Structure 1
Amino acid sequence: MASILAFAGSNSSTSINYKLVKYTSGLVGENEIKLMDLSTLPVPMFSEDVEKAHGYPNDMVALNEDIKKADGLMISVNEHNSGPSAYFKNLMDWLSRVDKRFLADKKILLMSASPGKRGAQSALTYVKDTLPRFGGEVVATFSLPSFKDNFSSEEGILDETLKNGHQEALQVFLNSI
């Protein structure tokens, strides 16, 4: 049985990416899952001045420890202006200060969702290209476009092609951990 840490890279209390990662975490079967709502973490904007004056935020030290304990990560990133949100970038900035290789040897299922037709693919691509710099291996990706048309809290992913793509990505991830 593998240990999986799941979260969305959003600080919105109504995050569709959190809804996607929550749905996905419900499909992991017998694996141990820790689902985190990062929107509850009060993380200051990264600055060397803040780091020198106050050190690392306790929440970032704790998140780093949770990442280390996990065999794999399920992350769903949101997109703001064709890139990952400033919140998610800030998390990566802090985590990389706590430990430059904070993702060492972690297998990652990377997802994204958006209300638009591209499914936050620009943010997904950026993050996919960035996470290996910190030691992580993105083993599978999935993008959910037109979230309101393609997802239901009761039924999950509605479009059959997208549902199959999601299942395939999840299975690749689960087989890797």
Structure 2
Amino acid sequence: MKILAFAGSNSTVSINKKLVTFASTFFSENEVEILDLNDYEMPIYKREIELESGIPQTALDFAAKIDASDLILLSTPENNGNFSAVFKNLMDWMSRIKGRKIFAEKPMFLMATSDGARGGASVLEIAEKRFPFDGAKVLEVFSLPKYSESFDPEKGITHEEKLAELKEKAESVKQKLN
């Protein structure tokens, strides 16, 4: 099975990238590719740009990565209660590819983290409701609140109950795919 893992962030110190990278270790028996949105920069979506230049190659390349995967691991940051601008822009461009649903009917393990007590709950609620319309089959959702208190860069999740929950949900995803 080929797994595509990424954070919906372009921060070079993204806590969501750290979380999704850690979560991917629970799928180590598979081929895992971790993407960085900084490798897929593109202009802010504007109809005039699309008419003049077409869809950016980076959006097409990202869509091809999704198409080649069997499972998506996505951890999305919460910026003012919603997606980051870079992630929303990527989705906007991919939605313009003719005949495409953004996530191409792929199964997804959706997650988020933040330093707040809600752990990205608002963005997860939005994503969980929206992504099925965009072709994602959301199998599980995981939130890690209080990231700085619950995650060690060397060890991963240090909060025992949250670690157990992540392991349980990773196993659930595997079972649902079999």
TM-score range, shorter chain: over 0.9
Residue 149 of structure 1: aligned partner: 149
Measure, in 1, the Cα distance between the counterparts of 2:132 and 2:156: 30
For the 8 Å contact 2:66–2:104, the answer to whether it is kept is: no
Percent identity between the two aligned chains? 36
For 2:28 and 2:69, the matched residues in 1 are separated by: 16
Letter in 2 for 1:16: I
Q: Are the counterparts in 2 of residues 84 and 124 from structure 1 also a CA contact under 8 Å? A: no
Q: Could you say which residue in structure 2 is the equivalent of 1:26?
A: 25
The one-letter code of the counterpart of 2:128 is K
Deviations, residues 46-104 of structure 1 (Å, cap 9, x unaligned): 11111111111111101101101101100000011111111111111111112531323
TM-score scaled by structure 2?
0.94
Which blocks of at least 5 consecutive residues in structure 1 are unaligned? none
Q: Corresponding residue for 1:50?
A: 49
Structure 1 partner of 2:88: 89
Is the counterpart of residue 137 in structure 1 residue 137 in structure 2? Answer: yes
Query: CA deviation digits over 1:23-55, x for unaligned, max 9?
Result: 111221211111111133222111111111111
Tell me the equivalent position of 1:123: 123
Distance 1:102 1:83, change over 3 A: closer
Q: Distance in 1 between matches of 2:37 and 2:107?
A: 20
Q: Distance in 1 between matches of 2:97 and 2:168?
A: 34
Asked if the contact 2:40–2:62 (Cα under 8 Å) also holds between the matched residues in 1, the reply is: no
Over aligned residues, Cα RMSD in angstroms? 1.2
TM-score by length of 1: 0.95
Q: Does 1:74 align with 2:73?
A: yes
Question: Matched residue pairs, number?
Answer: 176
Instruction: Give the whole-Å Cα distance in 2 for the aligned partners of 1:36 and 1:18.
Output: 9
